[in-house]
Structure 1
Amino acid sequence: MSGWRLLLTRPADEATALAATLAETGIFGSVLPLLEIEAVPVSAAQRSRILDLDRYCAIIVVSKPAARLGLGLVGLYWPQPPQQAWFSVGAATAQILEEHGLAVTCPAVGDDSEALLQLPQLQAAIARPDARVLIMRGEGGRELLAERLCELGASVDYLELYRRHLPEYAADALLHKVRAERLNGLVVSSGQGFEHLRQLAGDDWPQLAQLTLFVPSPRVAGVARAAGVRNVVDCRGASAAALLAALREYPAPAL
C-alpha cells in the first residue's frame, strides 16, 4: 500500500491524526483541511431543546463536532445525560458519546443516514405514539434523515451546533500541493468536503478529477462521478479503518 500518496482534507486535527495512522502502514498523507468548524452561539431555542432532552425518545448525533459540542452543551444543564436511546451515524462519533457514559447504537457498515435508518433499534425507538427525535448536527446538513423519520410518524427537532467553512488558500494551492508532493489520490469525508474540494480547485478541476478519489458513501460517490471524477472508490465509511480497507483493495497507480 506504500505506493499511495494521499491528500487528506478533513478538519485540521482529524486530518493530522489520519496522516499519523496512515504513516504507520507506510502510506503518505498530506494534510490540506477543507473544512473548518465554527461553533454557533447558543440560541433560546437550542437551550429549550437541551432542557427538554429527556422528552425525546431518540437522540441522533451525526458527526464528531456535533458530539463534542453537544455534550458540552448538555453538560451545562444535565449533570448526568438522559439515558434514552442515543444513535450516531459513525463509530468514531459513537466513541465520543460512549466515553461520556452513554449507550450508543450506530451502523456496523456505512457511515451515512441511509445505514442509520435501517437500524432495527432506531425503528423500535420511534415506534410509539407522539415519538420525538432530536438530531444534533451542523447548520445546513442533509434533510433525508428528518424526512424519513417524519414519514415513519416521528416529529423531529434540530440542535444545530456549528457551521463549516472552507479555509482561505491561494487559488492554485490545491494543484500546487498535488504536483509538489506527487500525490496520486484524494480523500474526502463528506459531501460538503467534496464540494469544497471542487470549489478550491476552480479551473484546475479537470486535471484533479483524473486522480483517484476516496469517498465515504454511495451518495458522495454519485456526486463525484457526476462532477467528472473518473476513478471513485466508495470506502463505505469515513473512518480510518474504512479508508485502510479500501486502500488494501485498490493498488496505487504506477508512478
Structure 2
Amino acid sequence: MPEGHTLHRLARLHQRRYAGKAVSVSSPQGRFSPSLVDGRVLVRAEAHGKHLFHVYGPDAVVHVHLGLYGTFTESSLPLLAPVGQVRMRMVGATHWTDLRGPTRCEVLTSAEADEVCARLGEDPLRRDASPDRAFARISRSRSSIAVLLMDQKLIAGVGNVYRAEVLFRHNVNPSLPGNQVSRALWDAMWADLVVLMKDGVRVGRIDTVRPEDMPSVTGRAPRQDRHGGEVYVYRRAGMPCLICGTPVATKELAARNLYWCPACQG
C-alpha cells in the first residue's frame, strides 16, 4: 500500500497541474459518479495520511484512498482512449490522469471530508500535525510501538517501510510498549519521520540509509527491489544488518511483516 509521502506527492502534482482551472471529470468504468464535480474549478488538492482530497467547493470533495491496488497514471495532452478499468479520469488544460483500482473514490461534502480527517492521526507531512497529541495517546498505551506506528488513528501516513526504518534508525526494539517510550525518544523519532517523509515526497521513493552507510561509501551492492530506495531492514529478512552483520529478523505482526535487527534493536 502506498505510504503517506506518495499521496502528498500526488496532491502537489495535481495542485500544480489542475488547481485554479475547470477540470473535466468522468468515470469510464462507471463505478464513480462525477456529476457534482465535472466541469468545475478544482480549488485545491491536499493529502492527509494515505488519503487524497480534491476540493471543488464546500459541497463537493473527491476523496480517494488508493488501498493496495489503486494507482494514478499521469500524462500530458493529447487525450488517449481509456485502457483497463478506469474509475476516474481528470482532464485539465495541459494534462490528464486516470485512477484505477482504488479502495475508495467518492464525492463528499466538506463536512464529510472533515469527518474522514478527524478519524485520522497526526500526519508528519502536515503543518497542522501535533506530535504532542500523538505522544499523549502513545504514552497511555500498552501496545508495542511497532503496532502504534502503523495505527492510522494515531500516526497517519506511516506504513510498513517507514515503521521498520525509523525503529531501526533509533535502535528501538519493536516490542517496546508505548507507555515505555520516553518523550525524548518520541521527539527524535517524530523529527526523523518528518525529514524522511519530506525527502520521500521530493524524490518519489523511500530512502532511509544515512550517507555513511550508502553503497557508494561502504562498497556493498545497491539494493535491487521494485520498491526502490536504500533501506536498513525492510524486506531484508535473513540478510546481514548493514551496521552489525546480524541477520535481519522478520515476523508477522497485526497482519503485516515486521523487520528488525535483533542486535541493534535488542
Same fold (TM over 0.5): no
Q: Which has the higher helix share?
A: 1
Higher RCO structure, 1 or 2 (CA under 8 Å, sep 6+): 1
TM-score in terms of structure 1 length: 0.25
